[in-house]
Structures are given as structure tokens and as C-alpha cells.
Amino acid sequence: MRASLIQIAVEEGESVENRRVRVGALVREQAGADLVVLPELWTTGAFAYELFGTEAEPLEGPTYEAMAKAASDAGVWLHAGSIPERDPEGPLYNTSLVFSPSGELAAAYRKIHRFGFDKGEAVLMGAGSELVTVRLPETVIGLATCYDLRFPELFRGLVDAGAETLVLPAGWPERRRSHWTLLAQARAVENQSFVLACGTAGTHAGVPQAGHSIVVDPWGEVLAEAGAGEEILTVEFDPARVAVTRDQFPALKDRVLGLERPRRAG
């Protein structure tokens, strides 16, 4: 299976519309790949909080239209990263879109863990509540977004729902790049799954981005890693290695579920 992770540079000097057109062209160039992955909130930048409201789109808005067309022109499965979604009935959401090679929407995932504690995304956007997996011809992908990477129970839920390849668009800052690499490898090892994590490059809203998109195999080995700048990271991997790893080292079968809370001594 061939995957291309498009690590876009998100910089203030470029308009959202220009970036949308540019990204569409980059997706078309990936014809022949099985799966193409884009980063989190690449239209605005994950930290450009002041743009969330002005650039928010309905689910089937301009980014949806452009990416559906790019997926069908290229004939690829496209994880189109996430958009600031305006739900007419509710708050904004950080919503990932997955398109089939014919340009149909295969899945939408609203980010469950919002970043920012008492500001930013955490107050500007609503939280999703549903785990989402998508069956591709070669593998079942499980969806998570950026800060979700810190919450292992979400990924275990995806594995329980059948995921073998965990796909994570992100806008991860350079400041915490060591966490990014470590957590991507940890999620791969503990879930005996491939991890495809696609970040952004450049600097927006004063936050330098880590880049370093990464693909990790079910044994925790890094198959490919990007540098800091805009880059397309292409990797070939064998999804059958998930079953082989889970069979030969069946740690997932040794899970003990429903542990009781410790009793207080004294």
C-alpha cells in the first residue's frame, strides 16, 4: 500500500483560497497512491484562532468540494485533514473528512479532545463524541486528530472497532516535537497498528510548526519521517503486518478490562 502525507506549510502570507487550490493540485499529483493524507486545519492553521469563525465552512463547503474533486481526479482515498466546520444547529467543530477515490464522502470525524485548556480551540469549538473507522480495500483506518494523540483510550477504542492503521492529521508545534514522535511511536506499539501522522510546516499565529510527519509500523519502527519544511512524505507499507504482529506477539489479548479503582488505605 502506498501512502502520501502532504505536509503543507501554513503561512499567513497565503490566502485560504490560494492554499486550497495549491493543495488540490498537490493531491492530484499523488495519482497512483492508495491513500493521501493532509494535516489538521490546513486552511486556517490550527493555532489561528481568530480565523476559525471567519473561515468556518458548512460540512459540504468549499474545502469539501475542492477535496472531493481532487480525490476523484487523482483516483485516491483522501484523508483531507480537518476543516473548521460550522454546524448550522450548533458550535464549530474541528472536522476531518475522508473521501473515496470516486469523490464520495466516506467519513467525517469531529475531533474529540480540543486543545487549549481554557482558551483557543477548547473554547471556540465543540467536542466530537464518536469514534470513526473507515474500511479501505487494504486496511481499516481509525481517525484521530492532533491533541487526540495524547489520549491512548481513544486509540484503544478505535482498535476495538477494527482499526489497523491509525491516521492522524495535526498542527503540532515545534515546541513539543519530542512528544509528537514519542507518542506516535507509543500509539503504534501499544495498539500494534500503523500510525500515519501528518503535520504542518511553517509558522502561523506566531507558532512555529513541527513538521516531521511520521509513519510508524506496528513494531514501533519509524518507516519514514519528514523534515521541518513543506514536503510530501511517501511510504510503502504492508498492512498485513498488523495481523502478523498481533499474532506473533499477542499482547492485545492479555488486556485486563474493567479494573477496579484502588481501595483507599486508612
Q: Does 46 bind ligand LYUYDEPV (CB under 6 A)?
A: yes
| Catalytic hit among 146, 164, 198, 230 | 146
146 catalytic, yes or no?
yes
Instruction: Show the 3-state SS of the chain.
Output: CEEEEEECECCCCCCHHHHHHHHHHHHHCCECECEEECCCCCCCCCCCHHHHHHHCECCCCHHHHHHHHHHHHHCCEEEEEEEEEECCCCCEEEEEEEECCCCCEEEEEECCCCCCCCCCHHHHECCCCCCCEEECCCCEEEECCHHHHHCHHHHHHHHHCCCCEEEEECCCEHHHHHHHHHHHHHHHHHHCCEEEEECCECEECCEEECCCCEEECCCCCEEEECCCCCEEEEEECCCHHHHHHHHHCCHHHHCCCCCCCCCCCC
Q: Which stretch binds ligand LYUYDEPV (CB under 6 A): 62-70, 72-80, 172-180, 258-266?
A: 172-180
The residue within the footprint of ligand LYUYDEPV, chosen from 50, 176, 240, 250 (CB under 6 A), is: 176
Q: Is 66 in the site for ligand LYUYDEPV (CB under 6 A)?
A: no
Q: Counting contacts by CB under 6 A, is residue 115 touching ligand LYUYDEPV?
A: yes
111 catalytic per annotation: yes
Residue 179 CB, nearest distance to ligand LYUYDEPV (Å)?
6
Catalytic residues: 40, 111, 146
Residues that bind ligand LYUYDEPV (CB under 6 A): 40, 46, 115, 146-147, 150, 171-173, 176, 179
